[in-house]
Structure 1
């Protein structure tokens, strides 16, 4: 019986070239090294003996992916590696990178999952995956969220530069009510930052909708900026509010994976 095109593609997807993977470890080690590395140090980071690593570096040098510094003999990423990195950045869409993680999080947990960006009026929902069980909340794509009363807004507030946040809370941005603006002083925001530093996620318990809890975490890009926040929300019976809950951990890990795909740091 002949294989279908789908089966053939699946089989081809399982095949790999070991030498490419081995050489790739050297490039990844250089990218993670923070600077030029001596052969023995680079090889050790890649888990290879120096004698095995050297031929790969010679070939990568011919391609411009690696260059050897004349004065020290250390190895660094070359101009071709820079061209590849820049091309990747030009082609990369943060929302596309995050959407797969959002759908996986929703499927694994059953919670509603939202992706939000910082828009002209504050935290704005741009993707929304409904919860498995009915969740009656007035949340939809395009919704602008409160900075202080939602997990999404609190996640942005926890990492946003103080000057930018001050501009937001000074006016109507983020859907702030007058009571929010009066209490949105730097001292009022410090607990948000402290909570995020301790737990790696922001939380909203029964707010702004009674009986609905949410956890949110920001994703960072290669420049350390926060292009989006991922949020899981559900009824309190299905999403416990404990910082150590499975939902909090799942959101934190999803944000870390998105950050990794965007070339950013994965911690608070």
Structure 2
């Protein structure tokens, strides 16, 4: 866990104003390979299960890794159909450069999806709502574009559920800093309510305990903690001892719970 990184949450909050989208792109690439992500993605794919000709939409598609994977899987299964990735222009430029035109890259914001009412068969968003100003607005838009009976899947981390090893008091202080890097640190546990209020029938909510891989630790934990040390919010010696404690043999660094909520 000695790797250092940049606080990538700052980029996600407003990627259009960031100096570079590269940290966000590299962060997303590293997350895609995590076994814990592949686990919940399996359930997500089973719920969306688009038939030939159906439209699938990825709201907040980022660099497009997952949308492109869905398009490839549909082609391999002989169930072709439109896959649409929606995000801000800067991220879509990265997505198009990496994945070409197998996906329709559509600029837009989750609060005002550039799609007609009742036009989508399967729509999902993952690790998006914890950054937005009003998650209810985004979920309402998802419900608006979904056809009657269409499938919805939302996955969000619940930062307030993060378990950190080492000295308990230091871990508690670190968690407060880390939770402050996202707009809502309890988003995972609110998904069912948001879907219900938007008129979507919740058919399943599954929690996933996710290990924090080194690249994510560097960007989502270590970077904001070291910034808090630099500006005096955390004691540097205490934090250094805590990091050293987490490096010891048998230490438990940390994990976080994510929730996958599926609806119709």
TM-score by length of 2: 0.31
Greater strand share, structure number: 2
Give the TM-score normalised by the residue count of structure 1: 0.30
Larger relative contact order, structure 1 or 2 (CA cutoff 8 Å, min sep 6): 2
Greater Cα radius of gyration, structure 1 or 2: 1
* Greater fraction helix: 1
